[in-house]
Chain A
Amino acid sequence: MKGWLISVTLMLATSPAAAQWSSEGSATKPGFSFPPDRPARILLFRPDVKVGAQTTAGMNEPSAEWTATARDHIAHALDAAQLAQGNTVVPMPELGGTDAALLADYRALFRTVANAAIEHRLFPGARLPTRKAAFDWTLGPGIERLGAAGGGDYGLFLYTYDSYGSTGRKAAQVVGLLLGVGMTAGVHVGYAGLVDLRTGDLVWLSADVAMGGDVREPEGATKRVAQLLAGFPGRVVPSR
């Protein structure tokens, strides 16, 4: 446990300024649209929210207070985001027994698949030679059991991580600037993904390594949620 902490600490403390990345904000599976004949039920999985302070050296000091506040603000912002556009968004219920283990498995699988998709799809420079255009990541049809347990057609996953630059970090940044050493203050990353709970297909994905909006404030959280959900597929309601 502590060995791990030390390794991460030293890695952060000694790493050069964050690399400059360019990314595409979001992607939708080609041809995807919500079923036009009825509202879809979207299950919101418990958002993964972490907020802390960045020490002078770049370590993250997790903050329970900030994290709890951000979790509340983000939940309210999601309610207000009208992301449903005629669809219904409900929180994934707490599951027990083997369903809980199934949920834990799929949360872990989503993280792995989403990380691969973010890296190789949203960063055009990192696309794999044989998958230049493909957007066909899937968690597999076994996820149907989870949709049945939670009572939904789609699953929405959210992740935000914020490490706000401490006074010491900002001071070091200024000194670094004077000496010509590039140093960033603050880390703000987030991603969101939508999964079809019948096929397991990842149908929409959004990520940013430099997110805006201070999640510790209600307005900031609203801005953050809007940014995370930018490009969220709309539901086309046929005109009569």
Chain B
Amino acid sequence: MKALLLLAALAQAVAAGPQTSEERGLWMEMDEAERELKDSNFVVRDSALQTYVEGVLCRTVGTARCAQARVYLVRTPYFNASMAPNGMMQVWTGLLLRVRNEAQLAAVLAHEFAHFEGRHSLIQFREARAKTDAMAWLSFLPMGVGAIGSVGLAGGIFANSREMERAADLASIGHLKSAGYAPGEAARIWEGLRAEQDATAAARGRKSRRDRNGGFFATHPNSGNRAAYLTQAAAGAGGDDGAAAYRAAIAPWWARLIDDQIKLNDPGATDFLLGNLARDGWTAALLYARGELYRAWGRPGDLEQAVAFYREAIAAGVVPAEAHRGLGLALTRIGDEAEARAALGDYLRLKPDAGDRAIIAAMIAS
């Protein structure tokens, strides 16, 4: 509650820039970080995708406000996005693979934007400074007395962080409603993430950590809680989910996103993820992805299944040229050399400038 009052007090426009010495310090640190990030090879340089994501942000929070944020798409195959106090927003490509439609992407962007507008980094910095200072003095007290006080203070820092995450979640629902997106999609993200964690655990024979995000030390509310209060906040409101527009926008990146995900070597989660994305049917792109997964998985029978998925994908319609490469490589390992050569040849014909042209050509020749 205290944190919420603090949020209200700080709700003056961030557009005016940093106001105090401590805020100027945080902005300076982030300006330096941004100076490095903007030239980093991890940043996706694709003007079409960039324009699309910025367009979704602007539709969600309004064109006047979205200009304060600078969006960087970062090629990292995990689910995350972040917002720095100076307006530097990072969206990881693993998130682009996981959200199913434009409304879900909008929910994440609105959440991050709410952190920025609410000056959450500054509040968290002050909170951490005040409480760790008190902890430092407490540490001089005889063992036990001071330690108990410190535990309470440290807990306060994390509780404050969770409170701000919740505030940003709820703000995102407001933005989705006013932008005409289906606000119920925000909760779907967390339901999907929980189920994905179950799938990872099942494939690895472990207990799921789906709602175990640190307990006392958690910086965010757990996924189960988030899904529950987001559903409640969105109740009754309809809107558009923008699924077709989203699929079209990420299609040129699909092969790379899938490749990055498969290299995480988490086949249980990847299989679940693809199934989750395929709830409305297995598209050619999803079948291709499943072929890639099964070719890499390597259990008995997986290569044969991979061949079947690639063939279905190619028959179903437009697929990345890499589908033909995958088919050829899987067939090679099964021992069907003639068919393998034909498929690899198709790949090189469809993608004459392929980076792996030399090695594929050598395989065909051998």
Contact = CB atoms under 8 A, between A and B. Distances in A.
Interface stretch (A60-68, A146-154, A220-228): A60-68
A1 B136 contact: no
A57 B24 contact: no
B137 A56 contact: yes
Contact of B120 (A2, A3, A13): A2
B128 A59 contact: yes
B132 A67 contact: no
A2 B157 CA distance: 11
Interface size class of chain A, counting residues whose CB lies under 8 Å from the partner chain: 35 or more
B140 A181 contact: yes
A65 B24 contact: yes
Given A2-B121, A65-B24, A105 B41 contact: yes
A57 B132 contact: yes
Contacts of A35: none
B28 A59 contact: no
Interface string B30-55: 00100010011100000000000000
Contact of B136 (A6, A13, A104): A13
B133 A57 contact: yes
Contact of A5 (B32, B124, B164): B124
Contacts of B125: 5, 61
B219 A2 contact: yes
Given A56-B137, A101-B40, A104-B40, A9 B157 contact: yes
A105 B40 CA distance: 7
Contacts of A57: 129, 132-133, 135-136
Contact of A61 (B129, B154, B158): B129
Interface string A55-85: 1111101111101100000000000000000
B137 A10 contact: no
A10 B154 contact: yes
Interface in A80-104: 100-101, 103-104
Interface stretch (A112-120, A171-179, A208-216): A171-179
Contacts of A13: 132, 135-136
B25 interface: yes
A104 B82 contact: no
Given A2-B124, A6-B161, A9-B132, A175 B25 contact: no
B107 interface: no
Contacts of A56: 132-133, 136-137
B339 interface: no
A55 B25 contact: no
Nearest to A53: B25
Nearest to B37: A104
Given A65-B24, A104-B41, A2 B161 contact: yes
Contacts of B140: 172, 175-176, 179, 181
- Which applies to chain B's interface (DSSP): helix, strand, loop or mixed? helix
B211 interface: no
A163 to B, nearest CB: 11
Contacts of B366: none
B136 A58 contact: yes
A182 interface: no
Interface in A36-63: 50, 52, 55-59, 61-63
B22 A61 contact: yes
B176 to A, nearest CB: 22
A6 B29 contact: no
Contact of B25 (A2, A12, A63): A63
Interface string A155-187: 000000000000010001001100101000000
B157 A104 contact: no
Interface in B112-161: 120-121, 124-125, 128-129, 132-133, 135-137, 139-140, 154, 157-158, 161
A13 B83 CA distance: 25
A176 B141 CA distance: 11
13 contacts: A2-B121, A3-B220, A9-B157, A13-B136, A56-B133, A58-B132, A63-B21, A63-B28, A64-B18, A68-B28, A101-B41, A179-B140, A181-B139
Interface of B: 18, 21-22, 24-29, 32, 36, 39-41, 82-84, 120-121, 124-125, 128-129, 132-133, 135-137, 139-140, 154, 157-158, 161, 164, 219-220
Interface of A: 1-3, 5-6, 9-10, 12-14, 50, 52, 55-59, 61-65, 67-68, 100-101, 103-105, 107-108, 168, 172, 175-176, 179, 181
The 7 A-B residue pairs whose C-beta atoms are closest, nearest first, are A57-B132, A104-B39, A62-B25, A64-B28, A13-B132, A64-B24, A3-B219
